Every structure is written in C-alpha cells, then in structure tokens.
C-alpha cells in the first residue's frame, strides 16, 4: 500500500527562526491530531530542534552511520541491502518517543563542510521512517545544501522561512528554484517571521512565493528561548503559534 505520510520540510536562511517554526508545527500537529503518528527530524547539524522540543539526544543518525561505515571499512564488505537492514533496526534505537510524537536527530557530520555521505544516508532514513508515520516534520539545515543534495526529494510540503530582510527573501527564492528542479513537492509557501511590525509587509517581495503567514516578533518565544523552556508549552495566543496554525491551514494540513 502506498504511504500517504505528509512530509513537511522547513528551510530558509540561518537565524530566521526555522527551528522555532518547526517546533511549533510539531506542537500544532500533536494538539490537532492526538491519534496520529508524528515524527520530528532534526536535520540541522546545529541540533536546535531537540532543545526547542525538550528532548535529550543520546544517539543520532550520524552515530549509527559511523558505526556501519566502520564495519565495512575494515574489509568486511556487506551487501548494501544488508547494511540498510542493519540501519533500519539501529534507527529505531535512535528514535525518542515522547508527548504524542517521536523524535530523531541527524547529528553532526564527521568533518566540517562534508555532508555528502550523511545526506545520502539521511535520504534513506527519511524514506524508511516516513512509512511508519502520518506526519514527518523536518527542520532542515540553513541554506540549500540538503535540497541541493536531493535529501528532501520526498517532501510533500515545503515551508520556506524568511525574516523581513532582502537577504532572507533572496535565500528562499534560491531554495525554491533548486527545489523546483529536484524536489517532487506537492505544495510550497513561505512564512515571513520576526516582523518588527505589520507596517513593513508592503515592502517585502517574495517574488511570487505565496505567503502563508506573517508573524510579528513574539515576546513569549523570546522569554522561552532565554529560559530554555519547551516551545511545546507556548500559550496558544502566541504570535508564532497563531502564525503557524494559519500557515498549516493554508496548506490544508490542518
């Protein structure tokens, strides 16, 4: 039977609040769909999603990948399928089940700037895991690297996050043009986050990308960040919660 998981990837320039948006998407889905299986994937090497969701990460996908690579590198060549079979079992060891959702972290690649191996592995992991969940939320790394490497090719919904800056909107346009070639997404849109005020909306040019919501600076979120509190506990009237709900409604996810 074909899997109908909704796979929501969140991408954008660094520093625009991607992780807060991703965590709020998880919060919203958990509250709206208590009977559904929801998976959060922290695919950003900066591993911020675990903190935002209050998860203590003990094992990452990269730890597992390293273990598998070591078994092949000492001359014991295993069939790729057998390795993937090993990976499938090990991946479930890295899954953390909690408060209405599951969580897995990609972790940091072994050498700075070389994401090739981990990205191809991540693609396999997403495809293995997505068959077991109704919703998968991926907090992607800053920029377009993962989309360039086609890690995100199985995404159904792509949410691009920008702030009010020209640079932010340029980055989401670059991501969209790469995604248009490489990702078989069904729906795409952007969230303009951290607005200083609604007055600047008329000056923001997304170059035709549909804006799903405008989110003004959120003092609740700032306090939660400082105190290290979970975004899952943010009050429902917070700007970011209302903005994410609006975005998910426009994408017909909720």
The pLDDT of 95-120, averaged and rounded, is 77
The domains found in the chain, sorted by start residue, are 6-250 (3.40.50.300)
- What SS3 state is found at 193? strand
Strands 187-195 and 157-162 turn out to be parallel
pTM, two decimals, is: 0.91
Lowest mean pLDDT among 70-74, 152-156, 181-185, 245-249: 70-74
What's the chain's Rg over C-alpha atoms?
A: 18
C-alpha dihedral (142, 146, 151, 152), degrees to nearest 10: 50
Q: Who's near 254: CB < 8 A, 6+ residues apart?
A: 28, 29, 32, 33, 245, 248
| pLDDT tens, residue by residue, 38-54 | 999 998 877 799 999 99
Q: Can you tell me the distance from the alpha carbon of 63 to that of 90, in angstroms, rounded to the nearest whole number?
A: 10
Res. 114: pLDDT tops 60 = no
Average per-residue pLDDT in the chain?
Answer: 88
Supply the pLDDT for residue 3.
Answer: 57
pLDDT band at 1 (very low <50, low <70, confident <90, very high): very low
Res. 117: pLDDT tops 80 = no
Strands 187-195 and 135-139 turn out to be unpaired
């Amino acid at each position: 039977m074909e899997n109908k998981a909704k796979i929501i990837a969140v991408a954008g320039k660094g520093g625009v609040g991607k992780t807060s948006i991703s965590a709020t998407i998880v919060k919203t889905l958990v509250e709206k769909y208590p009977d559904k299986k929801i998976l959060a994937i922290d695919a950003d090497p900066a591993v911020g999603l675990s903190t935002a969701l209050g998860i203590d990460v003990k094992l990452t996908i990269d730890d597992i990948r390293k273990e598998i690579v070591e078994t092949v590198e000492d001359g014991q060549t295993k069939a790729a399928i057998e390795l993937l079979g090993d990976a499938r079992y090990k991946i479930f060891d890295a899954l953390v089940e909690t408060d209405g959702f599951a969580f897995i972290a990609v972790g940091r690649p072994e050498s700075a700037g070389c994401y090739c191996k981990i990205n191809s592995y991540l693609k396999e992991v997403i495809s293995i895991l997505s068959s077991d969940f109704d919703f998968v939320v991926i907090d992607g790394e800053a920029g377009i690297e993962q989309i360039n490497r086609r890690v995100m090719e199985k995404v159904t919904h792509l949410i691009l996050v920008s702030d009010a800056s020209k640079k932010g909107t340029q980055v989401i346009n670059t991501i969209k043009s790469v995604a248009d070639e490489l990702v078989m997404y069904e729906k795409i849109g952007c969230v303009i986050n951290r607005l200083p005020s609604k007055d600047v909306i008329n000056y923001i040019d997304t170059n035709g990308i549909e804006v799903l919501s405008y989110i003004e600076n959120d003092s609740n979120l700032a306090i939660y960040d400082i105190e290290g509190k979970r975004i899952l506990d943010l009050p429902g009237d917070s700007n970011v919660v209302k903005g994410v709900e609006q975005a998910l409604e426009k994408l017909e996810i909720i």
